[in-house]
Amino acid sequence: MIKVCVIFLGAVFAVLTPLRGAQLTPVADISLQGGQYYLEGSRSSFGGNASVYFAPVLSFEDGSALLPVLSLLYRGTRDLRDLVGGDTLVRQTADYGLNVKYSLDFGGTAWAGRLSYAQSLVNETKDESWGSGLFDYTRMLAGVEAGRRFGPYGAVFSFDYYTVSFDNYASLVSEVDRDEFSHAIDTTTYSEISANAGKNVLDYGAAALTAGLERSFGSTEAELEYRLELRSYRDQALVRRDGSFASGKRSDTVNAFSASVSRIFERLDLGLGGDLVFFSSNQNSYDAGAPKFIKDFYSYTSLGVSPSAALYLGNPQSPSRLGINARLRWRLYSSRPAQDAAARYLDEEIIHSERGLSITYVYPLSDMISLSARAGMMNVSSNMKNEAGYLYNYTTMNYFTGFNWRY
């Protein structure tokens, strides 16, 4: 798919450049890092991360522009991913995609349309090969955006529709013995993959509306954003109180608020970001082993805070950069009860907390090449002690060194 998109873009460039007097400005960013990852003190083998971004920007005489972005991101170390409504610690991931944006100014308003295709490959276990992961997914998006200045304020509104499809999920499930899952502790998974509940039960379509506002106060920047997202699972039936399936389908609603403020000094940048997310789902769960019915199984509220600081050292024309970033996040499920180590349900809902800290140092060798070093740690804790299927309580540490090339 990416190859087809690249060929198509090449044809578009070949036609538009001479016809509209376009100016081509290529932008590229390549980062390679190697290091190690520690989970609960256990050291992993030497691994690495890599990212590649390439954007051949076409600027036209009328002020409009075509911005295609090719991206590739590989993480060879463990990472948190939101899979099927909850954070999961995965072994390695690879994401690649193509995003095309066309922008123009009309009546003082900056308009833009965008199309994107992306694929995410997720390896949860050692025996999963690339392209065969149970939670590999494809995401396609189309959207429009409008932005305008109102004195010192800037406002942006956008609407997007996208689809997410898990190409391997149904095919892998069809090869599994249903009786094996009927006795599993995680009967929610069994409910979702059961043939009675549908075939492509994780696939969904979503419509998203975003509104943002920003203002500059000299060297201070402040931003506010609200996002409303409606997700529809056309093939995932609702779970009834007795564990059977209703005719209705799952739907989720996301209300997300975010805010950030940053201040630039002569050699110091300070920032503070925060977000508040209300995730509501009508999907339920039935644990036949208890037995227990759990209403609105995926619904939760989360709060995140992210302070940051960057100190610039040495030559003011080409300084090195020392950055510190922290992350604090809490997630409270509205009706999903916690369990003890023996899988007995408790009279309290699940609460997750994440505390992370990373330190990065970047040393420039030239205008385009820089060396970097990064060290980080993250602690995840929860009152959920049943970890037969997933880890809910752990500490990770990592370090990486590498280089970055920008053009």
The terminus-to-terminus CA distance of the chain in angstroms comes to 26
Q: What is the pLDDT of residues 255-295, one digit of tens each?
A: 999 999 999 998 999 999 999 999 999 999 999 888 899 99
pLDDT at 172: 46
Residue 286: left if φ>0, alpha if ψ -120 to 50, beta else—which one?
beta
- Mean pLDDT of all residues in 118-131: 79
Given a contact cutoff of 8 angstroms between Cβ atoms, the answer to whether 250 and 234 are in contact is: no
Residue 50 has pLDDT above 70, yes or no: yes
Would you say 304 and 329 are in contact if contact means Cβ atoms under 8 Å apart? yes
Alpha-carbon torsion 81, 84, 87, 90, what sign?
negative
User: How much is the pTM?
Assistant: 0.85
Q: How confident is the model at residue 394 (pLDDT cuts 50, 70, 90)?
A: confident
C-beta of residue 404 within 8 angstroms of C-beta of residue 369: yes
pLDDT of residue 123: 77
pLDDT in tens, 198-227: 778 889 999 999 999 999 988 999 999 999
Rounded to 5°, the CA angle 52-57-61 comes to 175
Query: Where residue 376 falls among pLDDT bands split at 50, 70, 90?
Result: very high
Q: Is 143 left (phi over 0), alpha (psi -120 to 50) or beta?
A: beta
Other C-beta atoms closer than 10 Å to the C-beta of 198 total: 20
Beta strand 65-75 with 47-59: parallel, antiparallel or unpaired? antiparallel
pLDDT tens digit string along 79-108? 666 665 555 666 788 899 999 999 999 888
Q: Is the pLDDT of residue 120 over 60?
A: yes
| pLDDT score at 181 | 44
Alpha-carbon 176 to chain mean position? 29
**Helix residue spans in 288-341 (DSSP H):** none
> What would you measure as the largest C-alpha separation in the chain, in angstroms?
70
Q: Which domains does the chain have, with CATH numbers?
A: 88-406 (2.40.160)
| The pLDDT value given to residue 400 | 92
- The contacts of residue 127 (CB under 8 Å, 6+ apart) are none
Q: pLDDT value at position 10?
A: 56
φ, ψ (nearest 5 deg) of residue 388: -65, -35
Q: What is the pLDDT of residue 61?
A: 84
At 197, the pLDDT band (50, 70, 90 cuts) reads low
Confidence of residue 174 (pLDDT cuts 50, 70, 90): very low
Per-residue pLDDT, 78: 67
